[in-house]
Amino acid sequence: MVPMSLLPIDPAVGPSSLVDRYGRAARSLRVSVTDRCNLRCLYCMPERGIRWFPKERILTFEEVTRVVRLLVGCGVREVRLTGGEPLLRRGLPVLARMLADIDGLEDVAVTTNGLLLEELAAPLLAAGVHRFNVHLDSLDPVTFRDTSRRDALGRVLAGLRELERLGAVPIKINVVLIRGVNDHEIPRFVELARTRPYQVRFIEMMPLGDGEKFEAERLLPGAEVRRLIEAIQPLVATGRERASAPASVFRCADGVGDIGFINSVTEPFCGGCDRLRLTADGMIRNCLFARRETDLKPILRGGGSDVDLMNACAFEVAAKERGGSLDLREVYETRLPRKMWQIGG
């Protein structure tokens, strides 16, 4: 439970509870539903020795739904289900439906590595999920295996085909580039965006994992990627989809899809951030890089009221830092207490 002395000044449950000191309102909630994953991406998870959250610490669907309903009452408008790999959570379409049924929630989206999409795309769509971000670092089976330590490219491609077949387009493809590992595939990804209804988004690798591959020199700045692409394919800027959207988006001059750049490291976009995060084990967090968080489980499981829950969330929002720069060395050397898959990317 949050100590009384730390509660926000105005504990009223209302939209103002989710506006931070810098005037940013939380509209978008990332909900992680599991810390488990069926890939072991180099920059994210170690191959072995992972200590998973014990099952009893994972929020139930009812607990997640209660928190989301309250946050929607205070201005949250979209939820993105993530993980770990969210499609590994048994019954995910049931949770998606419970969330999609919340009055006032406009959008339920999923971020997935796509391995289970072929089976789950249809039930998720039927449950009210209409937007899918699919993580795909390589279009080559060997490089896919090298970056993810699993031989699964075929399954991801089958999942993408299924999304297209079901008309769930445009599909966003998240590509994390690692210099010297998959950067030679940039032209192939550009060709994918030119010929398919996809938005291919190049994401800068962040020092947020527990893998061995993050070294500052492996980071490929988005500006460099853009220069490489413009040498082979003219890009037309379309801007951000919303001021708070992480990607700056460009259209291929003669193509059907888009290309986006998420330059989280070299050009952090904290000024327009509207995100809040709920981890699979019930922590409410105001930033991927936050060194603090509040555990909602004692409130959820200890008979706490909705006002107690909202106060805990409002407290995290009030504590959100201005951000705007990322000291790579500091983040990497001190190592954040939680890794990406324990937060929800």
Is residue 254 within 8 Å of residue 6, measured between CB atoms?
no
Residue whose pair of structure tokens reads 């939209």 in the numeric block: 15
CB of 132 to ligand SAM, least distance (A): 10
Residue 2 CB, shortest distance to ligand SAM, in Å, is 28
User: Counting runs of H as helices and runs of E as strands, what totals does the chain give?
Assistant: 11, 12
For residue 195, how many other CB atoms are within 10 A of its CB?
A: 12
Q: CA-CA distance, 18 to 85, in Å (whole number)? A: 28
Question: Is residue 82 a contact point for ligand SAM (CB under 6 A)?
Answer: yes
Binding segment toward ligand SAM, per CB under 6 A, in 39-47, 139-147, 187-195, 279-287: 39-47
* Stretch near ligand SAM under the rule CB under 6 A, chosen from 178-186, 201-209, 245-253, 317-325: 201-209
For the purposes of burial, counting CB atoms within 10 Å of the CB of 19, is it exposed (0-12), middle (13-18) or buried (19 or more)?
middle
Candidates 18, 92, 203, 270; binder of ligand SAM (CB under 6 A) is: 203
Q: Which residues pair with 108 in a beta bridge?
A: 79
Closest CA to 176 of 214, 131, 227, 210: 214
The yes or no reply on residue 113 touching ligand SAM (CB under 6 A) is yes
156 binds ligand SAM (CB under 6 A): no
CB of 147 to ligand SAM, least distance (A): 9
Q: Of residues 160-189, which lie at the interface with ligand SAM (CB under 6 A)?
A: 174, 176
DSSP assignment of 203-259 equals EE--S--SSS---GGG---HHHHHHHHHTTS-EEEEE-SSTT-S-EEEEETT-SSEE
Which residue of the chain is nearest ligand SAM when measured via CB? 345
Question: If binding is defined by CB under 6 A, does position 312 make contact with ligand SAM?
Answer: no
Residue 18 vs 340, nearer CB to ligand SAM: 340
Tell me which DSSP letter residue 19 carries: B
Residue-wise DSSP of 93-138: HHHHHHHHTSTT--EEEEEE-STTHHHHHHHHHHTT--EEEEE-S-
Q: For residues 182 and 233, which CB has a smaller minimum distance to ligand SAM in the complex?
A: 182
Nearest distance from C-beta of residue 328 to ligand SAM, angstroms: 12
- For the bound state, the minimum distance from the C-beta of residue 243 to ligand SAM, rounded and expressed in Å, comes to 22
Candidates 177-185, 206-214, 225-233, 321-329: pick the segment binding ligand SAM (CB under 6 A).
206-214
Nearest to 107, CA basis, from 20, 17, 27 = 27
The least CB distance from residue 94 to ligand SAM, in Å, is: 19
**Residue 121 binds ligand SAM (CB under 6 A):** no
| Cβ 9 vs Cβ 312: under 8 Å | no
Residues forming contacts to ligand SAM in the complex (CB under 6 A) are: 37, 41, 43-44, 82-83, 85, 111-113, 135, 174, 176, 203, 205-206, 208-209, 340-341, 345
